[in-house]
Amino acid sequence: MTIMIRHTVLMSFALLVTGTLGACGSASTPAASPQTWASAVAGAAQTTQRSEGGQVTVEATWNGATVEPAFDVKLDTHSVDLDALDLSNSVLRNDRGETLAARPWAAATGGHHREGSLAFTGDASSFFNDAKWIELTFNGIGDIPERALRWATGS
């Protein structure tokens, strides 16, 4: 009888801990090993790309080939403070090797969760004209020195 009570108490504790860990995100996501390249290639219809690893998840949504290239960027973590990141060292590159420089990231501080618009300077019309793909590169987010997200442009 005592063994049954101990087993029940241990199982209840395990369920409580698992539920607590899952309250702020996915508790089942394994820690990713450091990598220098985290890229996803998608069709033009899929506008959101995601990179997980280095204790930080990066999610970027491309707003399409507009006058000013811009992305909605979300950063999420459970480990590090993200307030110091401004993403102004990000680069937008196309398949021809042309690049656009980022403006300062328009995102409110939030500790472990940040979200805002990341825009790029330059001639968007010539940058996107006949480009097969574009690639957004981030440096120094989490424990990953460089990560990139790639979108097919449909050209």
Please provide the DSSP assignment of the chain as one string.
-HHHHHHHHHHHHHHHHHHHHHTTS-TTPPPPPP-S-------TT--EEEEEETTEEEEEEE--S-SS-EEEEEEEESSS--TT---TT-EEEETTS-EEEBPPPEE---TTEEEEEEEB-S-HHHHHTT-SEEEEEEEEETTEEEEEEEEE---
Q: Is the pLDDT of residue 52 over 50?
A: yes
The pLDDT assigned to 1 comes to 46
Q: Is the pLDDT of residue 11 over 70?
A: no
Q: Is the pLDDT of residue 26 over 70?
A: no
